[in-house]
Amino acid sequence: MTPTMDLYQRLLEHFGPQKWWPAETRFEMMVGAILTQNVNWNNVETAIDNLKKEGCLTPMSIWEIEKAHLEELIRPTGFYRQKAARLKRLSRCVLENGGVDHFLRQENLRDALLEIKGIGPETADSIALYAGDRPIFVVDAYTMRIVKRAFGFEGSYDDVQDYFQNTVPTDIEIYKEFHALLVRLGKENCSKRSPVCDGCPVNPLCLLRKPSASIF
Ligand code: SF4
């Protein structure tokens, strides 16, 4: 078993399945992936609820709604002006490509997403994996921190993505679950400033494991 699969098994055993992405439709997943940039998920849920109450969770409704109104609905997520503009650009792109299903089925989905101003690799990969069912490993700040601490592996977004994609079987369900589990570990144990190594399920593997946080 590779160290990454060992990590996966330990996380799954400890936290159980996370069943991501929490959304009723694929387009809601796409919207959530944009709204969650730089904010915690509770704020995203509030914004998604606002959009639902307004009947504004389709590409057409987001494209048509007045931008100032959209900004108000998603204000809880912060950076709401930029995010509203991103949602409008994404919606236009989806509409121009024949709707959600057609958009998500296109061969070069990741490239198409990256061409939308304001959508970076993490957001594009989240949409490609969770909404588009593409075998792409999502990397975020939690993932970078955990592989650095646990395995001493450091690199760019692409390096870390390759690291996982080369050592984890190409299985969409594993990719989905693995990313969610890394986020859970990052929140519950492996935080930026005060990692809780005692009781961390990765402790037996981790290069930086310590009974106290003294080395941080
Ligand atoms: S043992 Fe500590 S440093 Fe290692 S993954 Fe767990 S919380 Fe992070």
Per-residue model confidence as pLDDT tens digits over 105-161: 999 999 999 999 999 999 999 999 999 999 999 999 999 999 999 999 999 999 999
From the CA of 175, how far away is ligand 1's center (Å)?
A: 21
From the CA of 205, how far away is ligand 1's center (Å)?
A: 9
Report H helices in the chain: 3-15, 26-35, 41-53, 59-64, 67-73, 80-96, 100-105, 109-114, 121-126, 141-151, 157-167, 172-188
From the CA of 98, how far away is ligand 1's center (Å)?
A: 45
Residue 215 has pLDDT above 60, yes or no: no
From the CA of 13, how far away is ligand 1's center (Å)?
A: 16
pLDDT digits 0-9 by tens, 55-95: 999 999 999 999 999 999 999 999 999 999 999 999 999 99
Residue with tokens 């387009």: 27
Any atom of ligand 1 within 6 Å of the Cβ of 195:
yes
Q: What is the pLDDT of residue 40?
A: 87
CA–CA dist 133, 126 (Å, integer): 10
CA–CA dist 123, 32 (Å, integer): 10
Any atom of ligand 1 within 6 Å of the Cβ of 149:
yes
- Considering the domain architecture, whether residues 174 and 159 belong to the same structural domain is answered as yes
Domain range holding 12? Answer: 3-18+138-188
Residues in the chain, total:
216
- Considering the domain architecture, whether residues 11 and 53 belong to the same structural domain is answered as no
Any atom of ligand 1 within 6 Å of the Cβ of 182:
no
Binned at pLDDT 50, 70 and 90, residue 210 comes out as low
- Considering the domain architecture, whether residues 33 and 59 belong to the same structural domain is answered as yes
The total of structural domains in the chain comes to 2
